[in-house]
Amino acid sequence: MRGKQIMTVTGPVNANLLGTVYSHEHLIVQPQIPDEKYIAYTLSDENASAKEVQLFANAGGKTIVEMTPINYGRDVLAYQRIAKKTGIYVICCTGFHKELFMPSWFKEKKSSQIYDEVLNEIENGIDKTSIRPGVIKMGTSFENITDQERRAVEIVARLHQDTGIMISTHCDKGTMGIEQLDLLEHYGVSAKDVLLGHIDSKHDIDYAKELCKRGAKICIDHVGRSLSDHDAFCVQLITELIEAGFVDHVVLSGDMGKTDYLLSYGGTPGFGYILTELKKTLLQYISEEDFSKMLIKNPQQFLSGNND
């Protein structure tokens, strides 16, 4: 997987063709647990999702990394249809969410069996299709890494080492980023091959800087949640990270896997927000070059494994 070719749902694509990338989004998703609070986190209208992706494309977007993993409502054929309909690239994932959303069989199977199943997705395709993932996901719980999550980290680390596929994580409310890196490095993974998700949601600038110092990339992906003050904290966080010399470690996205956040589902701000309103705000404090790095150069380097 290393090198210039990135696997998308429509086949391999040269990294320099990915254009503007949202590194953590959801197009079709449905948490697989019976709890009414997750109804809002269900995106099941393929036409609505395609309309939302078209807004992204109209604003200059080119690639979406779809981070719905095993047992979370992943639908790779729908991603493929959306990609073809809108003309954008979609990169899907394999791997697992935090323990709450893991499949019941995760506890029952041996780690070697789980490794083989995920490896089969990477090498041969997902859900009896030829569609292969371009990134592998792992997640941890809020301020905790459970025993099953530790198993997943070890499995993901082995898969990364054996295939070169990059690791993108779920840090619940931004927590456990340091602990994730510690565990991954224990299993032989370099921090530079890791993208830590949701780091802005912890609201701790020093913490974000520490993760960058460790060599990882961090995903600022909860923008659009505080429209009343124009995402003031995220703007401050991004500005301070850039001023501290960490622009090469930051990627931007919206993680808008909820009906409340998507215009096509009746929510706001929608997929166009980062490339329009947020960009306008950020450019009062950072350069156009740095904005582009976070959305073009950095995700391309991460996904292709060219992170040295």
**Concatenated DSSP letters for 101-119?**
GS-THHHHS-HHHHHHHHH
pLDDT tens readout for residues 134-158 = 999 999 999 999 999 999 999 999 9
For 5-304, CATH number? 3.20.20.140
Q: State mean pLDDT over 255-259.
A: 96
Q: Mean pLDDT, the chain, as a whole number?
A: 96
The reported pLDDT for the residue numbered 2 is 43
Q: State mean pLDDT over 175-189.
A: 98
- The full set of domain ranges for the chain reads 5-304
Q: State mean pLDDT over 202-209.
A: 98
Q: Which of 201, 178, 184 shows the shortest CA–CA distance to 95?
A: 184
> How far does CA 297 lie from the centroid of its chain?
16
Pairing of strands 135-140, 21-25: unpaired
Q: Which of 191, 192, 250, 194 shows the shortest CA–CA distance to 223?
A: 250
